[in-house]
Amino acid sequence: MQGKILGGRYKIIRRLGGGGFGQTYLAVDTQLPGDPQCVVKQLKPQTADLATARRLFDREATTLHELGQGHDQIPRLFAHFEENEEFYLVEDYYEGETLGEEIQRLHRFREPQAIALLQDILSVLKYVHSHNVIHRDIKPSNIIRRKGDGKLTLIDFGVVKLIGVANLSGFHTKAETVAVSTLGYTPPEQQNGHPRLNSDIYALGVTVIKALTGKDIKDLQMNLHNWREQVQVSDELAGILDHMVRLDFQQRYQSVEEVLRDLEAMVEAFKQTTQVRTGVREPTESATQVRETEVRETEVRATQARATQARATQAQETALRPAPTPVSRPEAPIKGFAFKPWHVVAIAGVAAAAALFGGWKLYEPYFYLQQAKEQLVKYQPEKALDTFNRLIDNKSNDAAAWRGRGDALLALARYESALSAYDKALQLQPKDAKTLNKKGETLYELQRYQDSLDTHEQALKVTENNPEAWYGKGRAFIGLKRYEDALAAFDKAREMKPQSPSVWYSKGIALEYLNRRSEALKIYEEAVETYDEQLKANPNNLKWWVERGSVLSKLGRFNDVLNSAEKALKVDPDFYPALVLKGNALRVTGKADEALQAYNKAMEIRPEDYMTLHNRGTLLAEKGDFVQGIKSFDKALEIRSSFSPAWVDRGIALSQNNQQKEAIESFDKALRYAPKDAQALVGRGISLSALNRNEEALAAFEQAKEIEPNDPFVWANRAAVLENLKRNDEALKSYDEAIRLKPDFQSAIEARQKLRQKL
């Protein structure tokens, strides 16, 4: 066929594949400028009744044309024609890697990649099923990651193959239906000749499980019932996949919308576990900036302990949520002048001459300024603050000293004091773009997003070519939920500073908020690659190693996160951010004792860091050492009494230690600082219930339900209290809702069953 021209215009280049129903070729369209590539599918009807085959061909071609015109992840149908009693379809050619090839290259998908795969293909299937079309042959080789934009595309619809195997009646027999599917991916009803819309859901579920396990489809087919034993994934994702691949189609998800609803609830729950529960703050931003990682991921260790409190039965049985991903917070040293060894020599020489003539005071401020900057580079903000304060005592009108004081205070999360320092610096130098950007960053941390945006705009008026200002604008836009504007701002920053992986990382987070997770993952991968290139040239850059680890955490590569932390610690065993990063990575990988050692060493270096104290307290509580865990929370709260996640986790530890009254007081403290913290309300409700104060407990759960209506644990705990109050019909409905939101919620299922038996 190579070189042959079909339909008077399509020149065959090479064969792409084929089977009993026909062949597929790569071709070029010789009648269009540039000879664009396309796919030509040759279909050979296995029947003498060409009239019937022709009608079927025209009908299915019309369907394919309609599908391709309405979704950019489905190939467009350009033409269909008959030649020499054979039928041909001409479609888009997608250059790229099939999902099967990608799985073979990566060996196994990590959970974030599997979620992105589900989201991408489910969105396509939602569109396909809305046209009452069943794909019939979803499998890794029929999914292509398009080279240009990285999107997953769905090809080779089974309706095409039906043309090739149609019988004389024009209806499809069991044999014909099976012929257009692939064993291992085909559910029983399709094998029996009765495919349904949720047959595609089964095939997609098997496809994702194959991606997670890396197993051959034959092995997977034999062991699909115990696939969880071969891979580590969250219970939530595993529950969704198990529901997708149930053999009985009646027990399976009935629609793509149902799967998307559960998947969206799972992803939203994950987002909620990786940010402060103030009801206001939106997640952000960059691996290079301390505050985003501090707030979004490192400091919020409330979730794992909170989860252990979710009680779905009167016996207060524990319902565990998946643990969130703790990520170390890389601190952002002051940019600009970096103190070098030769500066010591130069300053020493100048100082000696000055001393000889009685002029040391002239050079003392300069020395202190460089010393303080070097302390920030080494991530010693306490020492830097002392040095800047000494410098200000000697020279109160030094704008650089006030800005440096602000940088040290920002690194210590003392935001209001940092803001005052930057304002003082700007009084002395109103048009200093660097100070304006640092002020904008501080305003962002204070959740004053519009003020942050306005301040970065001021910086741009001072210096137009200012990537840091555009970067700051992007963060502010995320806080304002203007995600498209954030993407545009990050792109602008990237144009000016193309080798800044921190900007890419922030862009990835904005993409996640737009539910474009596959694009976000690609951005994260690019950021890691850039860090790797930069670290080849400068392997002793501690900040880059820690930032790289934070990006890797977004990809779920926690062994690599640990390796990144170790690389930094090999250069400087006392580098604080790397120790925190190491502790968090060890914790996620189940190495609690080693994680505690890393936290303890970090505390030796910075004993006043409330977030590491909080992480340490949560870890101790998880190990069952409630007394020491509570002490660690208390120490964190002595340093920052308004840190609501520590009040919540302290309350949970007290509750688990059967100190319910003290736990309620702790939850009340959390709610004073974060009135819309649903987890604090849930914890309060559980402790009240344990004291048989069920009416008050119900009121707490009702408030939590208003804030988090899609949280199955809220509904399950509410049901348990209603059951205590003998309001059994309402309790059953509440259990039903919990199970609807989380179909594999075993403790809720059992509690509902016990209640039904009692009735």
Catalytic residues: 137
By CB atoms closer than 10 A (0-12, 13-18, 19+), residue 131 is exposed
Q: What does residue 66 show for φ and ψ, rounded to 5 degrees?
A: -65, -40
Sheet of 152-154, strands arranged across: 96-98, 143-146, 152-154
Distance CA 468, CA 465 (A): 9
HSE-CB of 171 using CA atoms within 13 angstroms: 5
Q: List Cα–Cα distances, 709 to 8, 31, 267, 290, 732, in angstroms.
A: 60, 57, 15, 32, 17
Distance CA 403, CA 425 (A): 6
By CB atoms closer than 10 A (0-12, 13-18, 19+), residue 464 is exposed
Residue 230 DSSP code: G
Distance CA 272, CA 265 (A): 10
Q: Which of 541, 588, 291 is nearest to 412 (CA)?
A: 291
**Are 264 and 512 contacting, i.e. CB atoms less than 8 angstroms apart?**
no
Distance CA 289, CA 502 (A): 8
Distance CA 201, CA 207 (A): 10
Ramachandran assignment for 320, one of left (phi > 0), alpha (psi -120 to 50 degrees), beta (any other): beta
Q: List Cα–Cα distances, 195 to 128, 158, 445, 662, 666, in angstroms.
A: 15, 11, 53, 58, 55
Q: Which of 410, 420, 368 is nearest to 391 (CA)?
A: 368
Grouping H, G, I as helix, E, B as strand and the rest as coil, residue 430 is: coil
Q: List Cα–Cα distances, 222 to 179, 210, 215, 219, 229, in angstroms.
A: 21, 12, 11, 5, 14
Grouping H, G, I as helix, E, B as strand and the rest as coil, residue 580 is: helix
